[in-house]
Amino acid sequence: MSTSVTAAQAVDTRILRRFMWLSVAAALATMAIKGGAAVLTGSVGLLSDAMESMVNLAAALIGVWALRLAAKPADQGHPFGHGKAEYFSSLAEGSMILVAATLIIYTAVQRLISPQPVAQLGLGLLLATGASVINLAVSIVLRRAGHRHRSIALEADGKHLMTDVWTSVGVLIGIGLVALTHWQPLDPIVAILVGGNILVTGWGLLRRSGTLLLSSSLDPEDIARIRAVEDSFAAREPVHFLANQTVQQGQLAVVHSFLCVPDEWTVGRARVLAEEVKAAITGVLRRSDVYVHVQSHSSHDVPEEPLPGKPGAPRS
């Protein structure tokens, strides 16, 4: 990995940690606000909302740790760095979401079996609304930053906070209906529905994190950018490209491009073009480690039934 890539990664990771500390601050604030609302009203819906904020706090702290580990430079045992630490953060957050959802559903079922009246609904609604506004704002900031910096830790935390927002909306609707109808079972019923929605979100986060841990390829948009660069060189030079290989390594995009040149070309000429290809691909990806492998036309034997994406296979 080049020194410039390592330096850029260190700078970006410091920025990402600042965003994650913003999430920690938001979790502390909303946990206090929602917890106070739950105590004042006795609502199991607001209690479930406060419990999810506790999960937000734990997840954000794990995210800070993961980003700190991901910032460590590459070493002999980890030649591509420690970027995949973010995936462990995402897995931990998904697991905690599932645990929180299970506790919410369990608490709500107990309240449904033994109903209890809720009180001071107006103040409880006001506090919960304020906490939701905080989570909404921070969620938008984190998701945009995660997409821009290709950080699954930030994206996961932003999605988790957005789930918390929808949880709060459901709780607010439930509490409002209780205030209007005075039908107390509505409170735990809403909490159960909210818990089910959180279960779905947590499972989806676990699936995505597991896929990325298996060294998945780049997003289709990034692959299309790479192929457009390769096609531009093939259009002006007597060369062609084989199917490339890409791996998402944390925030780092690892690209292997396979360049076939005419037999009569010198090594020097081929290497000059390879460097141009490398620079062009690096230019269309935010942070990447690009390898351009050069071979002659005659050294490439096209298999009868090539596997898609396999080195040496022709481009589809």
Query: pLDDT tens digits for 39-54?
Result: 887 777 777 777 777 7
More confident residue, 13 or 276: 276
pLDDT at 228: 94
For the ranges 70-79, 85-94, 247-256, the lowest mean pLDDT is seen at 70-79
> In the predicted model, is pLDDT for residue 236 greater than 80?
yes
Residue 281: pLDDT band (50, 70, 90) is very high
Q: Is the domain defined by 220-296 classed in CATH 3.40.50.300? A: no
- HEC profile of 244-312: EEEEEECCEEEEEEEEEECCCCCHHHHHHHHHHHHHHHHHHCCCEEEEEEEEECCCCCCCCCCCCCCCC
Cross-strand bridge partners of residue 241: 259
Q: Which CATH superfamily is domain 3-213 in?
A: Cation efflux protein transmembrane domain (1.20.1510.10)
In this prediction the pTM is 0.52
- Average predicted confidence (pLDDT) for the chain: 76
User: Residue 94 — very low, low, confident or very high, per pLDDT cuts 50/70/90?
Assistant: confident
* pLDDT number for residue 13: 63
Greatest mean pLDDT among 117-126, 169-178, 253-262 lies in 253-262
Give the neighbor-by-neighbor strand order of the sheet with 288-296.
240-249, 252-261, 288-296
Give me 285's structure tokens.
């990806």
Whether 271 shows a pLDDT value over 90: the answer reads yes
Residues paired with 296 in a beta bridge:
261
Stretch among 109-118, 273-282, 307-316 having the lowest mean pLDDT: 307-316
Q: How is residue 226 annotated by DSSP?
A: H
Structure tokens at 116: 């209890």
Coil/strand/helix, residue 218: coil
CB count in 10 Å sphere of residue 140: 14
- The domain ranges of the chain are 3-213, 220-296
pLDDT for 2 = 46
Task: Check: CB of residue 198 under 8 Å from CB of residue 97.
Answer: yes
SS3 state of residue 38: helix
What pLDDT is recorded for position 202? 75
Residue 3: pLDDT band (50, 70, 90) is: very low
Q: Exposure pattern of 264-283 as b/e (b: 16+ CB <10 Å)?
A: ebeeeebeebbeebbebbbe
